[in-house]
Amino acid sequence: MERMSDRNMILVHRETRLDGLIRRHNTREQAAFYLQSRGDRVADYQDEDRELKQEIESTEKILRQYGRVQRLERSFLPNFLFGPDDIVVVAGQDGLVVNTLKYLKGQPLIAINPAPQRFDGKLLPFQLNDLATIINAVLSKRFTTKAVTMAQANLNDGQTLLAVNDLFIGPKLPVSARYELHYRGQIEVQSSSGVIISTGLGSSGWLSSLLTGASAILGTEPNPINMAWDARSLCFCVREPFPSHTTGTSLVYGKIEERDTFKLASQMAEGGIIFSDGIVDDAIEFNSGTIASIGIASVQGQLVAN
């Protein structure tokens, strides 16, 4: 069949739960034994594996009518170079959309829900039946996108890290982190279990969980955060700040606007990290001598809208 264009279609997916178990236990039989020994239903994993892989195959078949298709498994995202004209299609859960957006430079991202009966899909507006229509719209440039603001950490050694949902800065293990926090002309040495910096998209996730827990402890109603996905601001929250004669707790929550200065200077000999969007494997060390400046990224994610 002749393709309608020479555009590159990058189909991003992730391994299934069953694939992950087989990778850990070497064979399908050993993976099944592991599940059975813990009282889990093997059939549930097998059904999910079959359904998701069939959906990926069907997605690729449709895309091949419109351009050259390359499959990309999630673990290869950090090392993959997307072309400026690539059309990126994500078939997976919301987290895969988030993981993919931060490696793009404004290319449109089409998010497909491969299993509506399994995934709620807040960031997955399309299903397989919509794909042909959406690809035609993107190829003819008759589509709209929803902009997503990202956070960016710039380190004093030149490294950078983007986040679509949130950045975590703190200890790799469950111990106290020591650092110096700079915010709007104030400086405070703190000891805590880390700092979360959230975007508008991420404000309903990890950040919301922290505020809900704090409200429950105080016996008050949680105050919902209403930040738009494209809001040009971030929100930070210090987790479990510890007051002492050398550490303070006056700068534990606030907004970071575009003109604000927000920095963290590590005072940890070892074990400090910065990671984004829950991907610990793609982390940067945050040990003594490291200074992280946090701000709003100049690039925005572009989700194709329905």
Q: What is the mean pLDDT of residues 263-276?
A: 96
Q: What is the mean pLDDT of residues 35-55?
A: 93
Q: How confident is the model at residue 62 (pLDDT cuts 50, 70, 90)?
A: very high
pTM confidence score: 0.87
**CATH 3.40.50 in the chain, residue ranges:** 8-143
**Cα–Cα distance for residue pair 240/297, rounded to 1 Å:** 27
State pLDDT tens for residues 120-164.
888 999 999 999 999 999 999 999 999 999 999 999 999 999 999
Predicted confidence at residue 214, as pLDDT, reads 84
Residues sharing a CB contact under 8 Å with residue 47, sequence separation 6 or more, in sequence order: none
**CATH 2.60.200.30 in the chain, residue ranges:** 151-297
Predicted confidence at residue 78, as pLDDT, reads 86
Type of residue found at 178? R
Predicted confidence at residue 41, as pLDDT, reads 92
State pLDDT tens for residues 68-88.
999 999 989 988 999 999 999
CA-closest candidate to residue 75, choices 286, 274, 282, 304: 282
Fold of domain 8-143: Rossmann fold (3.40.50)
CATH 3.40.47.10 fits 151-297, yes or no: no
Give the Å distances, CA to CA, from 149 to 21, 227, 253, 295, 304: 35, 11, 20, 11, 15
Burial of 148 (0-12, 13-18, 19+ CB in 10 A): buried
**Two tokens, residue 53:** 């892989």
Q: How confident is the model at residue 3 (pLDDT cuts 50, 70, 90)?
A: low
